[in-house]
A and B are shown apart, each in its own frame.
Chain A
């Protein structure tokens, strides 16, 4: 097996996340954008909106709607991907991201409007869904769209009774249980939960707790980036915000 030592995978401890790098506001044309890199997985998210609803039939008079598109670039994986018009897995993930942020974004503030979330996976090395959610959170913040809290996502697996966080593609292909959690860190409210393969009930509590801690660690890093960004942006107006 790939995970062979007690001290974990690829030199990381079981609770150690991959190195996280992030940037906000790279795409000036978009209302909000962010790139998040966890290990070798890199995802770009651009936000357009809130703007007028494209289709009158989708329009909701109470709140805004979210339209999400999730795409993997052809060069994102080891073998070149064919760009299919209807990739069911991609559609599934788009719907998942849409429902995640419908819970987090204050949609009531923008009735009859539409918010477009465009997710582009530039490099896929495991945990693309999680990185996508983290990048979308940052992008929505960059767009100035109000949310209840950060939404941070983390994936974990169980190996030899140990919960192992933030696994990469090689570790994912070992076909152990893959437990993904998207959480609003302040309240520890679970926004999204997905489990692939079998996970024994005895492990569940531990995995949930450790994954939530992983999400909180991510939130700390994203928050730091947001504050850095704000200080930079405010400097342009000669304002020094207290962070």
Chain B
């Protein structure tokens, strides 16, 4: 639905790019503690399906997708499962109680800041028009602590190494700030939701 240019097969390339990026961001073992998803060791565990739907594409879809993903993981609740019995008689009782839930630990879930090289300078959070003017861009995956968890350079264009380091620094600073703002928003939403 995002736009006529994405009708039919038109969106495949962009889709693959976003997929690859999100995959990369969460490929680290630390980003999501997957061991918490285990219900019965070597037998049953939770699987998480992540679906991203773009309602409108106005540039900077990568950062938006990563922010959306972190926010979605923050609000994900999983029901408590109680295991009774052993072996063949093992029974899993998934709690129906909407309040008997637990949340994922997203303290290490990264968000992406994409910096686009435009001429001799660079820009963040670009619109589609600005993106069209750019030659090459870098995705920087930033953790709330400010550590860089992933990086990916895309697009046709050569980046000057000195500028690249500047871009990464800027990306990290912005990433820390984005984490702060996003968490503040999510927490205040959670409080109003509970009320």
Contact = CB atoms under 8 A, between A and B. Distances in A.
A30 B57 CA distance: 11
Of A29, A74, A118, most buried by chain B (CB within 10 Å of CB) is: A29
Interface stretch (B47-55, B137-145, B166-174, B180-188): B47-55
B15 to A, nearest CB: 10
Nearest to B58: A29
A74 B57 contact: no
B35 interface: no
A116 interface: yes
Interface in B42-71: 49, 51, 53, 55-58
Interface stretch (B1-9, B88-96, B118-126, B155-163): B1-9
Contacts of B53: 73, 75, 120, 122
Contacts of A30: 1, 3, 56
Contact of A29 (B7, B49, B51, B57): B57
Nearest to B128: A29
Given A29-B56, A29-B57, A46 B1 contact: yes
Contacts of A69: 7
A48 interface: yes
B51 A118 contact: no
A44 B56 CA distance: 12
A53 to B, nearest CB: 12
Nearest to A51: B4
Contacts of B51: 73-75, 80
Nearest to B49: A80
A27 B49 contact: no
A88 interface: no
B123 to A, nearest CB: 21
Interface in A4-52: 26-30, 44, 46, 48, 51
Interface residues of A, number: 19
A80 B7 CA distance: 22
Contacts of B3: 29-30, 48
Contacts of B56: 27-30
A28 B3 CA distance: 11
Contacts of A26: 55
B95 to A, nearest CB: 17
Interface string A68-103: 010101110000100000000000000000000000
B4 A27 contact: no
B11 to A, nearest CB: 11
Contacts of B2: 29
Contacts of A44: 1, 55
A75 B49 contact: yes
A30 B4 CA distance: 9
A45 to B, nearest CB: 8
A115 to B, nearest CB: 11
Contacts of B1: 27, 30, 44, 46, 71, 118, 120
Contact of A74 (B7, B49, B55, B58): B49
Contacts of A74: 49, 51
Interface of A: 26-30, 44, 46, 48, 51, 69, 71, 73-75, 80, 116, 118, 120, 122
Interface of B: 1-4, 7, 49, 51, 53, 55-58
Which 6 pairs between the two chains have the least Cβ-Cβ distance? A118-B1, A74-B51, A75-B51, A46-B1, A120-B1, A80-B49
22 contacts: A26-B55, A27-B55, A27-B56, A28-B56, A29-B3, A29-B56, A29-B57, A30-B1, A30-B3, A44-B1, A44-B55, A46-B1, A48-B3, A51-B4, A69-B7, A71-B1, A73-B51, A74-B51, A75-B49, A116-B4, A120-B1, A120-B53
